[in-house]
Amino acid sequence: MRKSTSGALTLLALVPGFLLGCSGEGAPGATAASPTFHRDVEPLLQKHCMSCHSPGNIAPFSLTAYDSARGVASLLARSARERTMPPWGAMETDECQPPHGWKDDLRLKEEEIAVLEAWAASGAPEGDPADAPPPFVAEAPGLPGVELEVAPKEPFVASGDADQFRCFVMDPGLTEARYINGVHLMPGNSKVVHHALVFIDRDGATDALVDEHGGYDCFGGPGFSGELVAAWAPGGVPIELEPNIGAELPAGARLVMQVHYHPAGTTAEPDATRLQLRFTQGVPEWLMGIALIGNFESPFAEGRGLLPGPNDADGVEFLIPAGEKDHVETMQFRLPAAVSLSETYLYGAGTHMHYVGTDMKVTLAREEGAADAPAEQCLVQTPRWDFSWQRGFYYDAPIEQLPRLRGGDLLTMRCTYDNSNGNPFLAKALKEQHLPAPVDVHLGESTLDEMCLAAVIHVTRKQ
């Protein structure tokens, strides 16, 4: 840390407002050049940290007051430098430079990290309270501008050692088609909600499935073919689109929310996860869709699907042997020819694995090089995968400048896993399952199964 702190002080000489001097600031090692909490650090914490690190929110301690922030000054600087906080999975790496930056990027800039390092190195001085920004006011949880909220008919109580999958059928009561412009899932009991997906039932396909409690068991999928319009996993944030983008929700359609519960041997408090919706004003210019691609159990024609892996024991198979620390599974999918019939762009991307996952990369290769795009692009990489912080990532660029999707384009999903006791996330999962050591891991939906799944968020010009 001494080396990086020195670098921080050097960089601060270039930051407006920091002039070298030698007078004290009331803290050991402080000088007139030292950042202070109220003037320099508190604004950064408000911008990047307090949405979680404030009373009543999910972080284990608050950073809204000087005394609490001073006690973790070194931790703040180290976490920022190592980029473990704020949590943000998508990274630029030597092998992945995404086509654009990301909207709502939580990461601190280099000069902001330098401020935290210099503040910690100088003893975390408080400075003058008169320099403080206006007090932090936490945003209300949920989707901004929510217009409609739907919930299951009855809460659900998850229990037992096995994971449970329950589908809830919800009627939004629409008498005319609307276009979803914002959507968010609000878990009722986040201790057991592993993830949730929301599908559109346009034609009443779930009428034959739903029971008197307003739902049905649905391991493996919702049991019908319907468009995916929302997904939530730990760390998920509301999906908010530009005013001219929406996802169609037809009149009379039902919303089916599939929730994966992970009770871990307990009888949980009742869960009533809610779905929040916001709509466009009128018919939008662009239609948004979400495709989950991957989780292939076997090869396809032309060598696609699941590719051969390093530890295959019985032909090409998805197998992560117990104890393997750097196991790779690779999958490929060629976009169907029909994609070329419409003007479709990649709006964003995401990755999904479980507790054994450590790194996932998604690339797009064009079968026939297009003049307006490179032959191959890395779309997203999450090189320090953390199941507790998942979200979609959206490119910060006008639609017409986004990667164009065409039939024949090839998506490659490369997933890396650590199935050893050295993986702290796996160690926690094994303890919950009362298992003394890692076991062979296969593809599946339960917590100690694994996945290799890309979320492809796309927009298509409405015809």
Tell me the sheet residues that pair with 215.
168
Alpha-carbon distance values, 113 to 10, 58, 98, 120, 457 (Å)? 12, 23, 23, 11, 31
Residue 14's pLDDT is: 33
In 320-340, which positions are buried (b, 16+ CB within 10 angstroms) versus exposed (e)? beeebeebbbbbbbbbeeebe
Residue 268's pLDDT is: 93
Q: How many residues does the chain have?
A: 463
Share of the chain above pLDDT 90, in %: 74
Contact between 45 and 39 under an 8 Å Cβ cutoff? The reply is no
Contact between 21 and 31 under an 8 Å Cβ cutoff? The reply is yes
Alpha-carbon distance values, 134 to 50, 129, 131, 441 (Å)? 13, 11, 10, 51
Predicted structure pTM score: 0.84
Q: Per residue in 329-372, pLDDT tens?
A: 999 999 999 999 999 999 999 999 999 999 999 999 987 656 67
Sign of CA dihedral 210, 255, 150, 220: positive
CATH 3.40.640.10 at 148-284, yes or no: no
Tell me the sheet residues that pair with 198.
230, 257
Strands 245-249 and 286-294: parallel
288-461 in CATH: which number?
Answer: 2.60.120.230
Q: Per residue in 36-73, pLDDT tens?
A: 999 999 999 999 999 889 887 778 899 999 999 999 99
**Fold identical between 148-284 and 288-461?**
yes
Residue 28's pLDDT is: 58
Residue 371's pLDDT is: 66
Low-confidence ranges of the chain (pLDDT < 50): 1-25
Q: Per residue in 93-108, pLDDT tens?
A: 999 999 999 998 989 9
Residue 20's pLDDT is: 29
Residue 414's pLDDT is: 98
In 344-361, which positions are buried (b, 16+ CB within 10 angstroms) versus exposed (e)? bbbbbbbbbbbbbbbbbb
Tell me whether residue 87 is exposed, middle or buried, using C-beta atoms within 10 angstroms of its C-beta: 0 to 12, 13 to 18, 19 or more. Answer: middle
Strands 266-267 and 159-160: antiparallel
Evaluate the omega torsion of the peptide bond into residue 152 and state whether it is cis, within 30 degrees of 0. no
Q: Where are the domains of the chain?
A: 2-130, 148-284, 288-461
